Amino acid sequence: MRALRELVQVCGLNPLLRSEVALDVAGVENLRNIDGAALIVANHSSHLDTAVLLATLPASRRRRTAVAAAADYFFETVWRAAGSALVFNTFPMERRGGSESSLPGNLLADGWNLIVYPEGTRSPDGIPRRFRMGAAGLAVSHQVPVIPVGLRGTYAAMPRGRGWSRSGRTRVAVRYGAPIFPEPGETPSELAPKIANAVQELIAEDATTWWAVQRDSARLDQIPPPGSWRRIWEQTAAPTQGGKPHRAKIWRS
Pairing of strands 39-42, 170-176: unpaired
Phi and psi, residue 76, nearest 5°: -75, -35
CA distance 119 to 7: 30
Partners of 26 in the β-ladder: 175
CA distance 5 to 127: 31
Q: Which fold, 2-252?
A: Glycerol-3-phosphate (1)-acyltransferase (3.40.1130)
**What does the radius of gyration of the chain's CA atoms come to, in whole angstroms?**
17
Pairing of strands 146-152, 65-70: unpaired
CA distance 242 to 204: 9
Q: What's the one-letter identity of residue 227?
A: G
What is the tens place of the pLDDT at every residue in 170-214? 999 999 999 999 999 999 999 999 999 999 999 998 877 655 665
What is the pLDDT, as a whole number, of residue 75? 59
CA distance 110 to 90: 16
Residues of the chain where predicted confidence (pLDDT) is lower than 50: 97-99, 218-220, 223, 229, 233, 245-253
The full 3-state SS of 4-48, as one line of letters, equals: HHHHHHHHHHHHHHHHHEEEEEECHHHHHHCCCCCEEEECCCCCH
Q: Domain ranges in the chain?
A: 2-252
What is the pLDDT, as a whole number, of residue 239? 75
What is the pLDDT, as a whole number, of residue 112? 96
What is the pLDDT, as a whole number, of residue 233? 47
Q: Mark out the alpha helices in 76-216 (DSSP H runs).
A: 78-88, 103-109, 134-142, 154-157, 188-207, 210-216
Nearest Cα residue to 197 out of 223, 168, 211, 217: 217
